[in-house]
């Protein structure tokens, strides 16, 4: 006879008392602020799409559907990168078209 047989406070089977299969919170990045900044300063079309996917990711994260939230967050990141590249190319073209006539005029 062991000491646990006479002890009413002894816990003999922990797995019956607790659910160890609880889903833990998964980190899903929030790209909402960078998406808004990309919309304002880079490319509006792709920035707005990034905002929509970021909002969808946030909504799915709040309901606990982490896989879908991660997919939406990845889509938001993709469109955020596309918006940044398009914005950088646009700024580069604008600056070069402003500077190019001055440089060409100086060559003559």
Per-residue pLDDT of the chain (108 residues; tens, 9 = 90+): 555 566 655 555 554 444 444 455 678 888 999 999 999 998 899 999 999 999 999 999 999 899 999 999 999 999 999 999 999 999 999 998 888 888 788 776
pLDDT in tens, 54-64: 999 999 999 98
Q: What is the model's pTM?
A: 0.68
Q: How confident is the model at residue 19, as a pLDDT? A: 46
Short-list 37, 39, 71, CA closest to 57 = 71
> Helix, strand or coil for residue 23?
coil
The whole-angstrom separation of Cα 49 and Cα 81 is 12
């Amino acid at each position: 006879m062991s000491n646990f047989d006479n002890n009413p406070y002894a816990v003999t089977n922990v797995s019956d008392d607790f659910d160890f299969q609880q889903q833990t919170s998964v980190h899903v990045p929030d790209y909402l602020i960078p998406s808004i900044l990309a919309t304002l300063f880079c490319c509006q079309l792709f920035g707005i799409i990034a905002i929509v996917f970021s909002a969808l990711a946030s909504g799915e994260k709040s309901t606990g559907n982490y896989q879908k939230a991660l997919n939406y967050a990845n889509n938001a990141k993709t469109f955020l990168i596309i918006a940044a590249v398009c914005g950088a190319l646009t700024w580069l073209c604008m600056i070069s078209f402003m500077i190019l006539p001055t440089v060409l005029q100086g060559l003559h």
